[in-house]
Amino acid sequence: MTAPILAVTGLKREADLLASHGLIVVPGGGDSAGLARKLETAFLTHHPRGVVSVGLGGALSPELAVGDWVVGDAVVEASTRWITDARWARALVTALSSAHLGSIAASDTMVVDATAKADLRTATRAIAVDMESHVAARFASAHGLPLAVLRVISDGADRALPKAAQAGMKKDGGMDILAVLKSLALDPRQLPALIRTGREAEVAFRKLDLLRSYHLVGGPGIGDADLRHLLVDLL
């Protein structure tokens, strides 16, 4: 039996969209330490052959729009830079012809406004950011596993996330509706921004769900057996 690929996500909803692809999906929920422990458990249980960080991400580059695909060629955290598997990155870019290739910045917390996004882009030269890829990269490096990063942009570089949205993620990747409502009660002026954030996230979730409809095995540049398995499992 072929060893599986571990898919690292943030939210349970992302995990649910990907579960049908035969991946072993591990949601982080914004808890980097907890995600690292889950990955070690999954390693011992499933003996994976590779790791893919997949799900929603925030734009750092103003050239990226909501719904754009981003394929990571590296993951950057402070002075540490992990290079993704070049073959997998090329295969994903070939398969998703509109995808943007570039570095992914790491953050243990949400990068919530345009100023913070611009500062992070200046510091890292990354084009997008998420809260899981650095954990996935560190894990893959420690175990000698190939790494791929595939993200869909859910908020633009000029967007600020309201506090209610920041409060809405549980450590298990679920949504904390009570925390969102409490934040709204404290500051109802957030409501328009929260609605906009939700609408833009829905665009990204729909794009992520399109992975179900791709049939990419045998496509241009995809000949390696591991790449075929990656695209069968992921796409």
Residue-level pLDDT at 214: 55
Query: Cα–Cα distance between 70 and 9 in angstroms, integer?
Result: 15
Q: DSSP string covering 14-35, please?
A: HHHHHHTTT-EEEE-TT-HHHH
Whether residue 10 contacts residue 27, with contact meaning beta carbons closer than 8 Å, is answered with yes
Mean pLDDT across 222-230:
42
Q: Is 87 exposed, middle or buried (0-12, 13-18, 19+ CB in 10 A)?
A: middle
Query: Cα–Cα distance between 213 and 204 in angstroms, integer?
Result: 15
* Residue with the two structure tokens 């609408």: 199
Task: Outline where the chain has alpha helix (H).
Answer: 12-19, 32-46, 86-95, 114-124, 133-143, 163-166, 177-186, 191-209, 225-234
Strands (E) located in 44-111: 50-59, 69-77, 80-83, 100-106
For 115-129, 144-158, 161-175, 191-205, which range has the lowest pLDDT when averaged over its residues? 161-175
Map residue 93 onto helix, strand or coil: helix
Query: Cα–Cα distance between 217 and 42 in angstroms, integer?
Result: 26
- List domains and CATH numbers for the chain: 5-161+204-234 (3.40.50.1580)
Confidence of residue 148 (pLDDT cuts 50, 70, 90): very high
Query: Cα–Cα distance between 107 and 30 in angstroms, integer?
Result: 9
Question: Which pTM value belongs to this model?
Answer: 0.85
Look at 169 and 75; give whichever has higher pLDDT: 75
The mean pLDDT value of the chain amounts to 85
Mean pLDDT across 69-92:
94
Strand partners, 7: 25, 52
Is the pLDDT assigned to residue 222 strictly greater than 70?
no
For 46-50, 225-229, 231-235, which range has the lowest pLDDT when averaged over its residues? 225-229
Taking phi over 0 as left and psi of -120 to 50 as alpha, with beta for the rest, 22 belongs to left
Confidence of residue 14 (pLDDT cuts 50, 70, 90): confident
Look at 234 and 200; give whichever has higher pLDDT: 200
